[in-house]
Structure 1
Amino acid sequence: MTLRRLTIALAAGAAWALSAPTMAAVSQEEANKLGTELTPVGANPKGNEDGTIPEWNPTTMKGDKTGEYPSHPEIDADEPRFVITAANMDQYADKLSEGHKLLLERYPDSYKMKIYPSHRIVTWPEEILAATKRNATSCEFRGPDDITNCEVGFPFPIPQTGAEVIWNHKLKWRGNNARRYNNQMIVQQNGDYQFTKIVEDVTFSYANMNDPVPIKDGQGEYLRYLSETVAPVRLAGTFILVHEKVGTGEAGRRAWLYSPGLRRIRRAPSVCCDNPYEGTDGHQFYDQVDMFNGVLERFNWKLLGKKEMFIPYNSHKIAGPPTKYADLAQPRHLNQDLPRYELHRVWVVEAENKPDLRHTFGKKVLYVDEDSWNIVMIDNYDHRGEMMQFQEGHYFISRNILAGATSPEVIYHLNTGRYFLTALAQEDQPIDSTVTYDDGYFTAAAVQRKTSR
């Protein structure tokens, strides 16, 4: 084992390690563990000692690329093993996020977590698995927003820094292109809600089977994104256009905003970080889309280790029909009869806000599923060290393209008692992965023409 190698503990009492400023790729010897001692993307394929976490048992591709919500009838038929409540939470405290503990304590009469049998079926197309192994010995981390020599697959399957774990989340395979509904609800303390309907078009440039864009020497675009707000009337016709690239400032994200009131599209550097996402009334920051996105520069990232935790998982039933939008909303918190929680191993990453690049959150603790590299929970603290928000992403895998996502994503505003739901599509249409876009689709000129019709 090389001196650069970060030893990751599999228990909560592990030694914690700081992110290093520069990390070379791992050795070929270490990379050879992928597909043998590790899964092809770097997880531990074995179950735990007491059998509550099973061995990795990857699924196979199944279903059309459009017209299908995620489902897995065998898993969806499971009954809960037990339920965690305020009365018994101490028994499971070492496997609960601080956010879940707080919700259980704050709402003892209504908040609960139904714990189901664990299933580890997540896998990826062969092209992603092969590229991930190549990246293990070629992709280099040179700084929080500076990586190089990476192509198509997960960049850091054997991570040595906290930021590398987050890059795996950001660059995960999600299909070549996608059109999806990303509907949103702001839920008041009494359960009333306001609803926003959004349609998104995305082309994934990096993790792309047909025309991949590699990341090299700090250059590389990894997605283009266009959202259109359809309802309510006061927000309808708002467009947000993003070109997401490696780097910061002008070298990184470029964004544009079209407002119906101004009737023109303009550059929008504010589409970043802890600025409120347009139309959310401050209930979601731009960097909270997809749990976390965008630049890492405002935080120092620590890799704390790996541990067993109860996380929202295999959430097919809550992500699609027959669940209705109104079924989700309940006073004070999500309708907890609906979510499915399972015991899994997660990477734990801590992000401390840098004093010279202030963010609303003083600290974030992010929990990343070992099999999918998807962020599934985030504890967000203010600068006094008190928890301000808790994010929860209900993870599922779409077997039709072998890619995972989270729906719904929940942001609990613990200081107001309100919560925000996003990534909702179950009363509209499932993700369409068959769409294609021409070269000029994701441009400011194309958006301006679209709004002028």
Structure 2
Amino acid sequence: MPIYSSHRTASLPPNIEAKVKKEAVNVELNGFGLVNLNGSTTPFPIPANGLEAIWNHNVRFLGGGIERTFIQTPVRATGSYSLIRAQELRVYDQNLDSHTENRLFNFIGKFLDPASLVGNISLVHEPVDQVKEPRSAWIYSVGQRRVRRAPIIAYDTPVDGSEGLITTDDYDAFNGAPDRYDWKLLGKREMYVGYNAYHIASKTLTYDQILTPNTPNANYMRYELHRVWVVEAKIRDGARHVYGRRTFYIDEDSWSILATDAYDTRGQLWRVGLHPLVQYYDAQVPWYSVSIWHDLNSGSYLISGLANEERAPWKFGVHAKAADFEPGELRRLGN
């Protein structure tokens, strides 16, 4: 582990911080959901329990709208891999031209490579409170040339193109409804986490240099000692998930999950996630340089967010029309 001195570089725009301060006295938990969020990106600046802490991660500030092209690739234990290139557009409700009650963001994801996945497009309407209103999703299949409602894209559904190495709610370290777990705040601790990890995202590196067997090339990683909130999630009685227990290590400055431990239903450590953070200074957004999930049973790992050899820059602060995220638009995008 390449260890460096700690630098607390995560920061948000002043107007976003002012909004957090203004709404902190108004936001409340309602069961597993939130009420009175009112555009806050840190509903619980001083969380009293694990559920409040995980909500801070789920709604944290990511620039209001993001458009990016990136690589998501499973790397097998042998070291072999096939690059999967994807494009995504995620626009939060405050950056849409019309407001939708209980909407956190709208999302469109599209595969660009390989040929077997090209043309498949997904659309997601992400509610704030997914217990009150489940996530809505649609898929356009280029083979069938039609749009269909996705039965479920949530919880432990495998992610397309991941070879089963991550679940849907692994994406972005954790996302979606928290209602299948009991959440416990274990307090704060100092630990070495991926931070200011700019090197692994450098345009001077190729994917072949980064994607080594068992784990990405450690020479390009960077770890610093930071304080994190530790949150434990245990499967609720009567609930179902492939992970029986999970531990999340959440950055106290950005509320981004920096590392995860996922245990199977027998209590054995199964998967370890690393989510090194960088500060995108031009947009004042702290977010991941990459995300990595190690499967300890198979020796494989999945890495997502690589853009070293991509030409198009990532865009933050994107605005859009709500009408661009309607199911009927998927057919047009697929043509």
TM-score, normalised to structure 1, is: 0.71
Residues of 1 paired with 2:77 and 2:289: CA distance?
21
Partner of 1:32: none
What are the equivalent positions in structure 2 for 1:21-170 lying under 5 Å apart? 113-170=1-58
Moved over 6 A (4+): none
Tell me, in whole angstroms, the C-alpha distance in 2 between the residues paired with 1:159 and 1:242: 28
Residue 290 of structure 2 is aligned to residue 402 of structure 1:
no
Question: Do 2:97 and 2:322's aligned partners in 1 also have CA atoms closer than 8 Å?
Answer: no
Contact 1:409 1:421 in 2 (8 A): yes
**Are 1:190 and 2:78 matched, yes or no?**
yes
8 Å contact 1:241–1:256 — kept in the other structure? yes
- After superposition, the C-alpha distances for 1:137-189 in whole angstroms (9 at most, x for unaligned) are 11111222233344233111111111111111111111232211231111111
RMSD, matched Cα = 1.8
Rounded Cα–Cα distance in structure 2 between residues aligned with 1:185 and 1:377: 19
**1:439 and 2:322 are equivalent in the alignment:** yes
- Find the residue that maps to 1:134 and give its secondary structure: helix
Q: Distance in 2 between matches of 1:300 and 1:434?
A: 34
Q: Equivalent residue for 2:258?
A: 376
Q: Structure 1 unaligned runs (5+)?
A: 1-112
Counterpart residue type for residue 29 of structure 2: F
State the SS of the aligned residue for 1:133: helix
2:164 maps to 1:276? no
> 2:301 corresponds to which residue?
419
Task: State the partner residue of 2:249.
Answer: 367
TM-score relative to the length of structure 2:
0.95
Higher strand share: 2
Query: Quick check: 1:135–1:156 contact (8 Å CA) kept in 2?
Result: no
Could you say which structure has the greater relative contact order, defined with CA pairs below 8 angstroms and 6 or more residues apart?
2
Determine if the alignment matches structure 1 residue 260 to structure 2 residue 142: yes
Q: Conserved in 1, the CA contact under 8 Å of 2:32 and 2:131?
A: no
Percentage of matched positions with identical amino acids: 35
Which ranges of structure 2 fall in alignment gaps of 5 or more residues? none
Aligned length: 334
Answering whether residue 67 of structure 2 is matched by residue 179 of structure 1, we say yes
Change (3 A) 1:129 1:250: closer
Distance in 1 (CA, whole Å) between partners of 2:271 and 2:80 is: 20
Equivalent pair of 1:324/1:427 in contact (CA under 8 Å):
yes
> Superposed, which structure 2 residues align to 1:160-239 within 5 Å?
160-206=48-94, 208=95, 219-239=101-121
Matches within 5 A, 1:299-314: 299-314=181-196
Q: 1:335 and 1:347 mapped to 2: Cα distance?
A: 28
Name the larger-Rg structure: 1
Instruction: Give 2:327's aligned amino acid.
Output: A
Instruction: Say which SS state the counterpart of residue 251 (structure 1) adopts.
Output: coil
Q: Secondary structure at the match of 2:17?
A: helix
